[in-house]
Structure 1
Amino acid sequence: MQLVRSPRAGQMRSPWALKMLNKRVKPNKVYTDRLKAEAELLQKMSHPNIVGFRAFSKTKILYLGMEACDLSLGDMIEKRMEEDCEPFTPKQILKVAADISSALDYLHTKMQILHGDMKSYNILVNGDFAVCKLCDFGVTLPLDENGVFDKLKAGRNVVYFGTEAWSAPEVIHGGEISSKTDIWPLGLTLWEMLALMPPHAQTDETLDDSVTCLEDLDDGTIEDYFSEKYGTRPAVPANISEDKYSGPLALFFCCTETLPSARPTAEHIAIAATDMALQCT
């Protein structure tokens, strides 16, 4: 799938962003059904921090029309990394935490669904963090009244999809999938705003002393090196001040508790992040 966004500020802007099947990819019923399901879900939802539905075409060109936002958080992180910029400010990180956890609370409690692919690229940002919105609902999973993955309602062969680098321990190692499975990748998304890189993309001192850089490793070894870190909490970047970033770090640590029961609910994160943001200068 591809998302055709509106042009950057200063250019003629479309009021829509279009999500459609990539023309270079052979038509696939799985992706077609996923896009249709996402369109049906978006039509049912109404929340200030969830991207708005605009239209759905079932004609020759299948597309989903959504509210246009400026940039994805993932794109913003990439740009900062390429330009060798400073990490995002505590206030910006807390704004993402407050807005997106509010959206997740709505999903988990009102809609009773798990987003299933939380990461920076599925967060859209308008202006200078005026508002952040959650998008991409193509791999959601139903939750029961206790916030646990409802396998009966989901049907046979339906599993957590997600993106491995952001996946929680219970996804990587096998365990109960619940609303808390969205909380872990939210924590890693806050970490991305500190580190300016995807989770687990950093190297450390655990490599063999004879290996001076990843270029010395073959593809299989590189893959093993990074995949072994999936489902673990990455270290706080060395350049991050614990005093300055105390609020975002506190949220990062509680969101990335190994035991799902130890992680806060999305509602609690939204309340805490909003309170912390009010104390930021």
Structure 2
Amino acid sequence: MDTSETPRRQLRNSHLENVQNLSTPIRIPPSPMLKTLGMGTGVSVYRLDRSPRLGQIRSPWAVKKILKNTLAKKDKLFDERIVYEADILRKLKHPNIVGYRGIVKSTDGTNNLALEMCTTSLGSILEERHDEHLGPLPARHTFKMIMDIAHALDFLHTEAKLLHGDLKSFNVLVKGEFEICKLCDFGVSLPLDDKGEINFQKNPQLNYVGTGLWSPPEIVDEAEIIDSKADIFSFGLVIYETLALVPPHFGTVAELADETEIDDDEVSKENIEQDPTMDDDDVAATADDEEDTELDDTKENDDEFSLADLESAYGTRPPLPVAFQLSDDYNCIVELFYLCTNALSEDRPSARTIWQCCENNAANITTSLE
């Protein structure tokens, strides 16, 4: 299991996968046509504004490219993941899965991926709400996100026979004011067998990468066989994020940091160590941030805040924050959070059960919010 995480803004870069319309082979031009949307481990995402064609204005693209310093290491991992993600996405046709538009080679021989464009990511929205002290995401928006992503997961698990494998708020894209939500980033997805399972013992070439903070207990426990419910646990932690506005477990560990009086300057880039195996789609929301980072796992003493404090919480259900007073509008959301994060996979609902539950409660939610 990859133990990399995406901690909150001071300790992680935001993830913004803005991607756009591409239907014909493309050539990636140099700046100024390319505008940086963000950077992540090994990759960067650029907005490409296209010139009008035949008098028609064409929508921009967002193109995922491998960073030059990554290419200098001659590590083919990131290029292979882009090709792998493209192979998966071109087969996935669903309104709640980000649309594939094309893949093209740069002059240096590396591959670039272009996708449908969305406004922003759920993770970026939650970070902004946290920084502006706005409280939990409005229930109607969370409810919409749950329904849309549950539809995407149902399609993945039952028709495409895939485990997403890295579900978190930054891999949920949002169009407009939650007009529609879409699942993205399939570079580490895994195939499910006819039973809807992954048998690692029979398939040693398969490896769950994911992101540590969102990993289910069966991954932490290194189970030989997992199923689609691994995604459901991670999805439950995405629901948690909409309530707590921080990644799972991070709020609790941050309190430990406050108790030891560690400030932002102490937890700085100099004290942060990057995991080179981190999923290549952890893309920043701003161009000012240059790298995804994680906490250094060294301690000066037993009380100092470290990565070990986070790792000890992997695969568990984080407590809901007591600072927020949730109204009755959140009852269904909180219930789904608890159901999805049950320790045993068989006790978690399927994606289909989740969206059916949402549909059954949609009228009540809408009425209560009017």
TM-based fold match above 0.5:
yes
After superposition, the Cα gap between the structure-2 partners of 1:92 and 1:212, relative to the gap in structure 1 and judged at 3 Å, is same
Give the structure 1 partner of residue 151 of structure 2: 102
Superimposed CA distance per residue, residues 62-107 of structure 1 (whole angstroms, 9 cap, x where no aligned partner): 2111000000111111111111112111111111111001101111
**What is the rounded CA distance, in whole Å, between the counterparts of 1:22 and 1:76 in structure 2?**
26
State the shift of 1:270 in Å: 1.1
**Which amino acid is 1:145 matched to?**
D
1:237 is the counterpart of 2:321: yes
More helix by share: 1
Of residues 82-91 and 196-205 in structure 1, the stretch that sits farther from structure 2 once superposed is: 196-205
- Is residue 2:270 matched to residue 1:185? no
Aligned partner (choices 13, 23, 26) of residue 68 of structure 2:
23
Displacement after TM superposition at 1:252 (Å): 0.3
Q: CA deviation at 1:240?
A: 3.5
CA offsets, 1:205-229, max 9 Å, x none? 9969xx8336299844522212111
The unaligned stretches of length 5 or more in structure 2 are 1-42, 50-56, 267-296
1:5 to 1:116, Cα distance in 2 relative to 1, 3 A:
farther
Question: 2:14 matched to which residue of 1?
Answer: none
Q: Deviations over 1:20-50 (max 9, x none)?
A: 2123323421111111011111111100000
Q: Under a length normalisation based on structure 1, what TM-score does the superposition of the two structures give? A: 0.89
Structure 2 distance, partners of 1:204, 1:34, is 32
Q: Decide whether the 8 Å contact of 1:114 with 1:141 is kept in 2.
A: yes
C-alpha distance after superposition, 1:87-145 (max 9, x if no partner):
11111111111100110111111110100000000010001110000000000101012
Report the equivalent of 1:268: 353
1:227 & 1:214 partners in 2: Cα distance? 21
Counterpart code for 1:21: I
The number of residue pairs the alignment matches comes to: 274
Moved more, 178-187 or 195-204: 195-204
Instruction: Name the SS for the 2:313 alignment partner.
Output: coil
Is contact 2:168-2:214 (8 Å) kept?
yes
In the alignment, does 2:303 pair up with 1:256? no
Q: Distance between the aligned counterparts of 1:149 and 1:77, measured in 2?
A: 32
Cα pair distance change 1:62/1:206, threshold 3 Å: closer
**RCO greater where, 1 or 2, for CA within 8 Å and sep 6 or more?**
2
Do the aligned partners of 2:98 and 2:183 also contact (CA within 8 Å) in 1? yes
CA distance in 2, matches of 1:232, 1:47: 31
Decide whether the 8 Å contact of 2:146 with 2:355 is kept in 1. yes
- Mark the CA change 1:54 to 1:207 in structure 2 (over 3 Å): closer, same or farther: closer
Structure 2 residue corresponding to 1:3, chosen from 45, 59, 62: 45
Rg: which structure is higher? Answer: 2
Structure 2 vs 1, CA of residues 177 and 4 (structure 1 numbering), >3 Å: closer, same or farther? farther
